Structure 1
Amino acid sequence: MSPRFLLTLFAALYPASSVHAGVDVERALEAFHSTCLAHGPDFDRTAAAAGRLRWTPVSYDAFSNLSPIANVNEAKTWTTAADDTMPKGAIVGVTKARLDGKAVQTCTVAMTDVDHETFLKSFFTRTDAEKIDEKRDGLQISRLYILIAGGREQFVNLKFPASPSADGLMVASSIADD
């Protein structure tokens, strides 16, 4: 599924959210940090939290294009409720997969209405991330970083619109050895 389809899905699921209202960037970064970075991606911990917080399960098929790894062995995906920790309309996905023969886990938070330029600045202020790769197409930028968080080496993939003024998804993923 295309990112455009997912943006349309977000709009359909959350019609009350205004595209121009924006999401508090610090809240968005904290959602990614607390869910995916602080302890590293943790499939079981995130699934338990989703049940406790009453996140709504959704089909992984609708989320698979946002996953940082294509060949997934197990996956769970949810839409979150707007609360003190998550922006309204966020989608969280966790996977277990194999990457270059190693077992890995991933954790992804996808959010709309996030000022991606401010998110990136806050991300660098909060972490010791070092950029190791970047891919661009006409609509989207995907950057891969390495960092230490939660006592673990993690890779972070950030995907965001290519234009600083463009609306679109901010997709933040963490990848770490299982």
Structure 2
Amino acid sequence: MKNENRLTAVGTDLLFRFGKEEWMKRIFLSMVAVISVANINDSALGATPFDVFNERCLARGPDFDRTIAFAKNRNLPGLAMDMSLGFVPVDNPLALEGWIVNEGGEPFQALVVSRASVGQKQVESCTMAFAGIDATGFEGALFERTGPTVSGEQNGQNRHRKFYTIEQNGRKEAVTLDLPLYPNGNDEVIASVVSEQQFEN
């Protein structure tokens, strides 16, 4: 709890002192510096960061309830709400949950899910944030595994946001990669997927 309170204060201070892009960069550095999390054994242990994102978010699409059940089952420590909000790709989420994931120690990982209304549609998102990974390799794996269609991009001072659409299992998904402008193999990457909420019949 003390760590979470400390992180909340750090995140709030950075949000007001810097723009969102710089704030997110500093969040990564702050989290890596102050969080000590026990190792969590997982079937994805030893997998690449993209494999982990694919398993948690992409392969079956975002699923708010399923992800919460996974986090509770693994006793994942919660991520401060303001930090979780900084990672979601949708505005004004109706529900939001985030956790710190540290599968096998390094690199740092966070997992965030949300629900929101976009127009008349109810959507869900699933995001993973990574520190200390190869951004170029992550993006390459996305192309190799899903063959996405590029739908846009947005450059900031230090970050590059790329937008893709993919269709799998009869479901359209919007994927966003937030990458450094100049990747060096030890990068911070935020990967998100958004799709229409699936309801049980």
Listed as ranges, the matches of 1:90-109 within 5 Å are 90-109=109-128
Residue 123 of structure 1 corresponds to: 142
Of the two, which has the highest radius of gyration?
2
The question of whether the paired residues in 2 share the 8 Å contact of 1:87 and 1:111 is answered with no
Larger RCO: 1 or 2 (CA < 8 Å, sep 6+): 1
Residue 21 of structure 1 corresponds to: none
Listed as ranges, the matches of 1:21-170 within 5 Å are 27-83=48-104, 88-165=107-184, 167-170=186-189
* Counterpart residue type for residue 123 of structure 2: V
User: How far did 1:4 drift?
Assistant: 2.4
Q: Tell me the distance in 2 between the aligned counterparts of 1:26 and 1:129.
A: 21
Unpaired runs of 5+ residues, structure 1, are 17-23
**Shift in CA distance, 70/47, structure 1 to aligned 2, threshold 3 Å:** same
The question of whether the paired residues in 1 share the 8 Å contact of 2:135 and 2:185 is answered with no
Provide the secondary structure at the position in 2 that maps to 1:153.
strand
Q: Structure 2 length normalisation: TM-score?
A: 0.77
The question of whether the paired residues in 2 share the 8 Å contact of 1:26 and 1:122 is answered with no
The question of whether the paired residues in 1 share the 8 Å contact of 2:107 and 2:133 is answered with no
**Greater helix share, structure number:** 2
Q: Tell me the distance in 2 between the aligned counterparts of 1:9 and 1:95.
A: 23
How much identity, in percent, do the aligned residues show?
24
The question of whether the paired residues in 2 share the 8 Å contact of 1:104 and 1:176 is answered with yes
Provide the secondary structure at the position in 1 that maps to 2:175.
strand
Provide the secondary structure at the position in 2 that maps to 1:169.
strand
Unpaired runs of 5+ residues, structure 2, are 1-14, 16-22, 38-44
Q: Tell me the distance in 2 between the aligned counterparts of 1:100 and 1:90.
A: 31
